[in-house]
Amino acid sequence: MTYALKFHDLSLGYDRQPAVHRLQGEIAEGSLTAIVGPNGAGKSTVLKGVTGSLRPIEGRIALGGLTRSEIAYLPQHSDVDRSFPVAVADLVGMGLWREIGGFGGLRAVHRARVAEAIAAVGLEGFERRPIGSLSGGQIQRALFARLLLQDARLVLLDEPFTAVDARTMADLIGVVRRWHGEGRTVLAVLHDFDTVRAHFPRTLMLARELVAHGPTAEVLTAENQFRARQMCEACTGPPHSCGRGAA
């Protein structure tokens, strides 16, 4: 099976302080993978490394035939300025950037696709509503609609279901499963193990270093969770010693 991503001895960090240490492994193309681990385990940092917004301190990330423009990324705390005077349809339409660029116009076919994406996340009737009037769950739905339009081969989601109600979560998981069904690679940082067990066939567990990676049932064991917690507690020491004692 070909890979979408391969981590080669990857170390990532901030101000030369590693947050992820010597990560090895690959994410298969078309896979649906959850990244789990304790707080501060480096889960979001890995996604930032994949998007290219954070350069590796050591090692590298190989994109298996992908270009950066084929990656869509939904960060944990989206930067969207909710007070900005823009309508839901305009926010969602930004997902067409790669097709129409910064200067092209929206044609009828594009508007139809925007309407389709808005309908797919259950926001029909909200097209002309200012984004400032949306609830947290509704804005997350709109951001998923924008991801739909990005039509990316690799989708990165950082805590996508945090602070959304159960119905919104169920609908958005439906969108994630649809991407998986279409053969796209999805990599999602999650903290709720029940959601991971129910919907994500593969899991990568991090504690600044790789704890385990493989089928979810084999990764989410009590032993691995205990080990991950110990490794992260050990990470309060010097970065180079991260995880060594516990592992």
Residues binding other proteins (CB under 8 A): 51, 53, 69, 71-73, 75, 78-81, 84-87, 91, 94, 97-98, 101-103, 130, 132, 146, 150
Q: How far is the CB of 92 from other proteins (least distance, A)?
A: 12
Nearer to other proteins, 2 or 67 (CB): 67
Helices (H), the chain: 43-51, 88-93, 97-100, 108-120, 136-150, 166-181, 193-199, 216-219, 222-234
Q: How far is CA 5 from the centre of its chain?
A: 13
Q: How far is the CB of 233 from other proteins (least distance, A)?
A: 28
Nearer to other proteins, 85 or 238 (CB): 85
Nearer to other proteins, 184 or 227 (CB): 184
Q: How far is the CB of 197 from other proteins (least distance, A)?
A: 30
Nearer to other proteins, 142 or 176 (CB): 142
Give the CA count within 13 Å in the CB-facing half-sphere of 111: 6
Q: For 240, phi and psi rounded to 5 degrees?
A: -70, -15
**In which region does residue 141 sit, left (phi positive, over 0), alpha (psi from -120 to 50) or beta (all else)?**
alpha
Produce one character per residue of 178-216: b if its CB has 16 or more CB atoms within 10 Å, e if not: ebbeeebbbbbbbbeeeebeebbebbbbbbbbbbbbeeb
Q: How far is the CB of 61 from other proteins (least distance, A)?
A: 16
**8 A C-beta contact, residue 60 and residue 54:** no
Q: How far is the CB of 211 from other proteins (least distance, A)?
A: 28
What single letter denotes the amino acid at residue 130?
Answer: P
Nearer to other proteins, 28 or 86 (CB): 86
Nearer to other proteins, 41 or 131 (CB): 131
Degrees to nearest 5, angle at CA 34 with 32 and 37? 165
Q: Rounded to whole angstroms, how far apart are CA atoms 82 and 183?
A: 33
Nearer to other proteins, 102 or 238 (CB): 102
Q: How far is the CB of 217 from other proteins (least distance, A)?
A: 33
Q: How far is the CB of 63 from other proteins (least distance, A)?
A: 15
Q: Rounded to whole angstroms, how far apart are CA atoms 24 and 186?
A: 18
